[in-house]
Amino acid sequence: MKMDKIKIGVFLSDCGNQLSQILDFDAIINYVKKVPDVALVARANEFWRGEGLKNIVEAVKGKKVNRIVVAETIPKLGEINILEAVEKAGLNPYLAEIIDLKDHCAWPHKDSPKEATEKAKAMLLAAIERAKLLESIEKLEFPATKSVLVIGGGIAGMQAAEDLAEMGFEVHLVEKEPFLGGLAARAGRFFPTDDCAICIQSPASDVKTVTHTSRKCVYRSGFTEIPNLNVLTNSKVLKVEGVPGNYKVTIEKKPRYVNEEKCVACDLCTTVCPVEVPDAYNANLKKRKAIYINTPLVYPPVYAIDANACKFADCAKCVEVCPTKAIELNQKSKRLTLNVGSIIVATGFKEYDPSVIKEYHYGEYPDVITQLELARMIDAFGPTNGTIIKPSDGKPAKRIVFIQCVGSRDRRWNPWCSSICCMISLKHATLIKSAYPDTDVTICYIDIRTTGREHEYYYERAREMGIKFVKGRPTEILHDPEANVLVVDVEDELLRRFLEIEADLVVLAPSMVPADGTKELAEILGLELDEDGFFKEYNAKLRPTETKKRGIFLCGGATFPKDAPTTSLQAHSAAMKAAKFLNMGKIVKDQRTAAVNEEYCGDCEFCPVTCPYGAITLTPKNDGHFVAKISDLLCEGCGVCVGTCPVNAIELRHFKQNQMLAQMKALLSINGTSKPLVLAISCSECGNAAVDSSGMAMMRYPANVRTMKVPCTGILQVQQILEAFKAGAQGVMVVGCKTDGCHYEVGSQIAQRKVELAKMLLKEYGIEPERLEMFNMVYIEGDRFAEAAKMMTERVEKLGPIKIT
Amino acid sequence: MAQEKASPRNFSKEITSRLGGETITFCYQCGTCASSCPVAKITEKFNPREVIRLALLGMRDEVLSGDAIWLCSSCYNCQERCPQKVEIADVIYALRNIAIREGHIPNIYSEFAAGLMSEGRIVPISKFLEKKRPEYGLPPLKPAGVDAIRKILSATGFDKIQFKKGETP
């Protein structure tokens, strides 16, 4: 590598003469000018825009400087602007060091300007020493396939798939059942719009028949005719290999035994099929044939054969009658391999089986049913054509009791509130009451939760219609076999009276739990599940449809039971995120990643286990030993591996040990106050933000406290903490994110352990361990930082200078 | 809890720090316990949901000096069915223990305790019962090992804590 002579440009902003009223700028400039390798010192009102920025750019363009140190006062905005400008001017942005003399020096030490001036010198010297050792970082590009796999063909998956296909991405929509629609299709109608569950937005590509406001039934929507959209029913994801942008997915497509291209849904096959089985789709309330279609309105509108029921070659009557020769009994399972750049998980949720709650006798008394089963009865296309009956004898149900929170909000089964069951019951109760006003409907509830838009009106309307509400969770459902009537045993808490409510039909509102196969899919994709078994999003507030794995997104009920409006929102969000991820056809990032020194690395498993991003794998070398390999694509550059490595074999390209040491020594080389030096090592996220905010709010703390930013406190090794004491610190603070809010997942926790370990070592050396302390803070806790800085200073003052025994 | 004086304000804390009382704050008043309770169905004097409610609202005196907590038959039906895993019957035991230490105890329980100390039995054996036993083919009762029982009661501290008003351990 050609080593140019180092020429450092130092640019000092005095923030419109604000800072020079506190700091002695002349003294500072005189000092900086004398530091070796400093080629240029400039001062201006501001350097992050306008004339000031032009100065920097010209100095870079004119080759007057080849590294820069800028002391600016607008923490992040300034940094972004300056780095972009110097990059355009031809300087690698990683050769620039930006510090904040206002928030980290002048303002918090406003009352002691002399001390602040000395601290400013130390901060600038530290930045210069670090700048000398900085190295260029290259840009990396990784190819990305503009193709997306959507897992799950319910409303979430269909909407995400449609969005992406219409934006021009190739989309593979994988559904495990023979028909699309998922759980929602069985719901009949939706709240709060009261429209059909199978009504979806129409593809915008269907320009001949729709306007942009159009909604259509799935069967009329032309959904599967969208160009670039490949619908795979009866299919399951078996394996996912590869990296974000380039996944190789193995799919198993089970045979339908009906050729989707040829079937015209003429229904002749079902008239000859001799096999009848209970129709699970319709809550087993009617029978269906071995060759079947769920309802007339499904997609794809072609029949399927139930392999568990069909007699195949022993019968084959359907084959004979089929006018288009669509039935192919010799179809076999197929394995397909897809190349996709991104994956959207839309696997949804399911209704919990309430038969475990013995006192409600579900599965034992036929007239105790679930909400989903009732939905099939309410549906005009359902097994009872919209009439509400007692399954035990087929007679109309005139007295209906709903029981809420069955298995939900229940520590014995599922502790969460399933969030939609109150609304489902209100919807069903009002639908029944409107169609059959003489039906007596009672809802037994613990709390009615109607938190969404227009939801409370459902509750209001239900009361207007004469639906009765009993506050109380029934202890048991009894059955009188003679009268064939159910009795619900409940305390009406508001009356403080025990009721025995007679009912023809009792409808349980079971909790909603993760869909079948959620755990297996999570393993295949390497995704985390939350403690309730749902897919875990990356951040509930800011990244609700993203996962810890770049390129894999979530939407709909896969993360938690939710209503149709929220599911739609998430589907569009996940589609947008996937589009944003793949849009350029490549993934561009800086190589600000970790690098392994293979000479030292060998055979331990610390870093691959600790890396929060699964970026490290152990790879065999020729000599039979294993070394760590770091994926530049997956590495986020946090440095947790650096802190974890027991043999110092890993370094961050953008934050090397020698840079950190030089910076630390310089920071502690000038004191200028009467107090002992305290070094605060802060992470670049919440920790440093707390330091920023204490300065911004002009909270005071003494100037002997020096801050040094590291990418994540997880990068710290015990020896570096000890080095700080060696370099002259009388006290050391480690300031990281909250342990459960670390931007790199585990960094704060790992740092905490390092601090504990370093304390033990300090004790061995005869140094008081309380000279070292870990703090966890966020941006809004600037006051806590100022307090902590004062507290540590006082503590160290009391202890006196370090005496090594 | 140790330093805090027992008061209505921290009554639920006082209960959760007691053996059996740990789960009381889980209660969300669904009423499953009440409709499960055989006692509540025959008398208005006892409703397990109400006992928990009064306790959580800090109505300490009303709970401890009232009859309700003594009416629970310990059938554990409520505890079996509580969706929040509130150990209701055990909470009521915890409340009884607090009540006893503060001198609130129905006479019948004092008599039980006295009987246990003196005779080694809670239910005294009457002449009538002894006469009846052979009629049903039952052998005569052996004497209860009063000395052994007293030793146990003294080792567990039972003999010291009983029924002294206002005493707290």
Q: Which of A412, A472, A473 sits opposite B85 (nearest CB)?
A: A412
Instruction: Select the residue from A446, A493, A500 to test the B interface by mutation, using most B Cβ atoms within 10 A.
Output: A493
Q: Transcribe A163-176 into DSSP letters.
A: HHHHTT-EEEEE-S
pLDDT, tens digit, for every residue of A461-505? 999 999 999 999 999 999 999 999 999 999 999 999 999 999 999
Name the token pair of A595.
């690098």
Largest CA distance in chain A: 104
Q: Contacts from A612-618 at CB under 8 Å and sequence distance 24+?
A: A612/A548, A612/A636, A612/A638, A612/A640, A612/A744, A612/A745, A612/A746, A612/A747, A613/A548, A614/A526, A614/A549, A616/A641
Query: Is B35 within 8 Å of A359 when comparing Cβ atoms?
Result: no
| Predicted pLDDT of residue A212 | 52
How many helices (H) and strands (E) chain B has is answered by 10, 0
pLDDT surpassing 60 at residue A268: yes
Least confident of A101-115, A185-199, A511-525, A710-724: A185-199
Confidence of residue B169 (pLDDT cuts 50, 70, 90): very low
pLDDT, tens digit, for every residue of A544-584? 999 999 999 999 999 999 999 899 999 999 999 999 999 99
Q: Which of A409, A471, A493 sits opposite B83 (nearest CB)?
A: A409
Name the token pair of A675.
């107090």
Q: Is the dihedral of CA A669, A670, A674, A676 positive or negative?
A: negative
Could you tell me if A36 and A128 are in contact, meaning their C-beta atoms sit under 8 angstroms apart?
Answer: no
Which residue, A720, A710, A718, A662, is CA-closest to A682? A710
Residues 73-102 of B with CB under 8 A from A: 77, 81, 83-85
| B34 → chain A, closest CA residue | A491
CA dihedral of residues A237, A241, A245, A250 (deg, nearest 10)? -30
Contacts of B77 in chain A (CB under 8 A): 475
Inform me whether the C-beta atom of residue B25 falls under 8 Å from chain A C-beta atoms. no
Q: Distance from B105 to chain A by nearest Cα, in Å?
A: 27
Query: Is B81 within 8 Å of A489 when comparing Cβ atoms?
Result: no
| B81 → chain A, closest CA residue | A475
Which residue, A165, A240, A143, is CA-closest to A575? A165
Contacts of B30 in chain A (CB under 8 A): 405, 446, 472-473
Q: Give the integer Cα–Cα distance in Å for A129 and A198.
A: 66
- The percent of residues above 90 in pLDDT, for chain A, comes to 85
| Predicted pLDDT of residue A651 | 95
Q: Is the dihedral of CA B5, B11, B16, B21 positive or negative?
A: positive
Contacts of A446 in chain B (CB under 8 A): 28-30
| Predicted pLDDT of residue A209 | 58
Inform me whether the C-beta atom of residue B30 falls under 8 Å from chain A C-beta atoms. yes
Q: Which of A447, A475, A496 sits opposite B36 (nearest CB)?
A: A475
Name the token pair of B86.
């509130």
Q: Which of A475, A496, A498 sits opposite B32 (nearest CB)?
A: A475
Q: Which of B31, B47, B50 sits opposite A473 (nearest CB)?
A: B31
| A404 → chain B, closest CA residue | B30
Q: Distance from B47 to chain A by nearest Cα, in Å?
A: 9
Phi, psi of B13 (to 5 degrees): -65, -40
Q: Transcribe A381-425 into DSSP letters.
A: TSTTTT--B-TTT-PBP-EEEEEEEESSS-TTS--S--SSHHHHH
Q: Give the integer Cα–Cα distance in Å for B108 and A768.
A: 64
Could you tell me if A640 and A610 are in contact, meaning their C-beta atoms sit under 8 angstroms apart?
Answer: yes
Query: Is A472 within 8 Å of B35 when comparing Cβ atoms?
Result: yes
Query: Do the strands A342-345 and A139-143 form a parallel or antiparallel pair, or are they unpaired?
Result: unpaired
Q: Transcribe B74-105 into DSSP letters.
A: ---HHHHH-TT---HHHHHHHHHHHHHHTT--
Angle at A578 (CA atoms; ends A574, A583), nearest 5 degrees: 145
Q: Give the integer Cα–Cα distance in Å for B5 and B2.
A: 8
Q: Which of A409, A447, A493 sits opposite B49 (nearest CB)?
A: A493
Cβ-based burial of A211 (10 A; exposed 0-12, middle 13-18, buried ≥19)? exposed
| A448 → chain B, closest CA residue | B30
Confidence of residue A524 (pLDDT cuts 50, 70, 90): very high
Q: Give the integer Cα–Cα distance in Å for A709 and A681.
A: 6
The total of other beta-carbon atoms located within 10 Å of residue B112's CB is 16
Amino acid at A671: N
Give the ranges where A170-214 is alpha helix by DSSP (H).
182-186
| Predicted pLDDT of residue A213 | 55
| Predicted pLDDT of residue A2 | 54
Phi, psi of A2 (to 5 degrees): -75, 125
Contacts with B42 (C-beta within 8 Å, 6 or more apart), sequence order: none
Could you tell me if A316 and A472 are in contact, meaning their C-beta atoms sit under 8 angstroms apart?
Answer: no
A386 dihedral zone (left: phi>0; alpha: psi -120 to 50; beta): left
Contacts of B88 in chain A (CB under 8 A): none
Q: Give the integer Cα–Cα distance in Å for A738 and A495.
A: 48
Inform me whether the C-beta atom of residue B118 falls under 8 Å from chain A C-beta atoms. no
Query: Is B32 within 8 Å of A412 when comparing Cβ atoms?
Result: no
Cβ-based burial of B124 (10 A; exposed 0-12, middle 13-18, buried ≥19)? exposed
Q: Give the integer Cα–Cα distance in Å for A544 and A536.
A: 9
Query: Is B85 within 8 Å of A473 when comparing Cβ atoms?
Result: no
Least confident of A113-127, A470-484, A621-635: A621-635
pLDDT, tens digit, for every residue of A733-769? 999 999 988 999 899 999 999 999 999 999 999 999 9
Which residue, A33, A25, A26, A28, is CA-closest to A9? A33
Whether the complex's predicted ipTM surpasses the cut of 0.90: no
Angle at A557 (CA atoms; ends A409, A574), nearest 5 degrees: 140
Residue with tokens 């370990």: A757
Q: Give the integer Cα–Cα distance in Å for A65 and A570.
A: 49
Contacts with A478 (C-beta within 8 Å, 6 or more apart), sequence order: A486, A487, A488, A489
Q: Which of A410, A412, A491 sits opposite B35 (nearest CB)?
A: A491
pLDDT, tens digit, for every residue of B25-55? 999 999 999 999 999 999 999 999 999 999 9
Which residue, A348, A345, A352, is CA-closest to A558? A348
Q: Give the integer Cα–Cα distance in Å for A326 and A502.
A: 52
Distances, alpha carbon A175 to alpha carbons A153, A161, A239, A347, B14, in Å = 5, 12, 15, 9, 55
| Predicted pLDDT of residue A210 | 54
Mean of all residue pLDDT scores within chain A: 93
Q: Which of A447, A472, A475 sits opposite B81 (nearest CB)?
A: A475
Contacts of A490 in chain B (CB under 8 A): 31, 35
pTM, full prediction: 0.90
| Predicted pLDDT of residue B167 | 41
The residue among A603 and A255 whose pLDDT is bigger is: A255
Least confident of A265-279, A313-327, B123-137: B123-137
| Predicted pLDDT of residue A295 | 82
Q: Which of B28, B35, B47 sits opposite A446 (nearest CB)?
A: B28
Amino acid at A617: T
Least confident of A68-82, A136-150, A384-398: A68-82
Distance between alpha carbon A547 and the CA centroid of its chain, in Å? 4
pLDDT, tens digit, for every residue of B133-167? 999 999 988 888 889 999 998 898 887 765 544 44
Strand partners, A616: A630
| A410 → chain B, closest CA residue | B83
Least confident of A111-125, A278-292, A570-584: A278-292
Q: Which of A409, A412, A493 sits opposite B31 (nearest CB)?
A: A493
| B28 → chain A, closest CA residue | A446
| Predicted pLDDT of residue B140 | 86
| Predicted pLDDT of residue B108 | 83
Query: Is B30 within 8 Å of A496 when comparing Cβ atoms?
Result: no
Q: Distance from A787 to chain B by nearest Cα, in Å?
A: 29
pLDDT surpassing 90 at residue B107: no
Strand partners, A502: A487
Instruction: Select the residue from B30, B44, B75, B79 to test the A interface by mutation, using most A Cβ atoms within 10 A.
Output: B30
Query: Is A472 within 8 Å of B34 when comparing Cβ atoms?
Result: yes
Contacts with A219 (C-beta within 8 Å, 6 or more apart), sequence order: A198, A296, A297, A298, A299, A301
pLDDT surpassing 70 at residue A205: no
Contacts of B46 in chain A (CB under 8 A): none
What percentage of chain B's residues is helix, strand, coil (to nearest 5)?
Answer: 55, 0, 45
Which residue, A457, A236, A446, is CA-closest to A336? A236
Which residue, A663, A640, A551, A647, is CA-closest to A594? A640
Could you tell me if B62 and B56 are in contact, meaning their C-beta atoms sit under 8 angstroms apart?
Answer: no
| B33 → chain A, closest CA residue | A475
Angle at A91 (CA atoms; ends A88, A96), nearest 5 degrees: 115
Q: Transcribe A325-361 into DSSP letters.
A: --B-TT---EEEEEEESEEEE---EEE--GGGSGGG-
Phi, psi of A241 (to 5 degrees): -120, 170
Average pLDDT over residues A262-290: 93
Confidence of residue A202 (pLDDT cuts 50, 70, 90): low
Inform me whether the C-beta atom of residue B157 falls under 8 Å from chain A C-beta atoms. no
Q: Which of A410, A472, A491 sits opposite B83 (nearest CB)?
A: A410
Contacts of A498 in chain B (CB under 8 A): 34-35, 40-41
Name the token pair of A313.
């070659």
Residue with tokens 């001062």: A43
Query: Is B83 within 8 Å of A489 when comparing Cβ atoms?
Result: no
Contacts of B40 in chain A (CB under 8 A): 491, 498
Burial letters A235-250, b for 16+ CB under 10 A, else e: bbbeebeebbbbbebe
Strand partners, A340: A247
Q: What is the DSSP letter of A21?
A: G
Query: Is B31 within 8 Å of A472 when comparing Cβ atoms?
Result: yes
Average pLDDT over residues A639-666: 95
Query: Is B47 within 8 Å of A496 when comparing Cβ atoms?
Result: yes
Phi, psi of B95 (to 5 degrees): -65, -40
Instruction: Select the residue from A475, A492, A499, A511 to test the B interface by mutation, using most B Cβ atoms within 10 A.
Output: A475
Query: Is B84 within 8 Å of A410 when comparing Cβ atoms?
Result: yes
Q: Which of A405, A446, A490 sits opposite B35 (nearest CB)?
A: A490
Contacts of B84 in chain A (CB under 8 A): 409-411
Q: Give the integer Cα–Cα distance in Å for A613 and A53.
A: 37
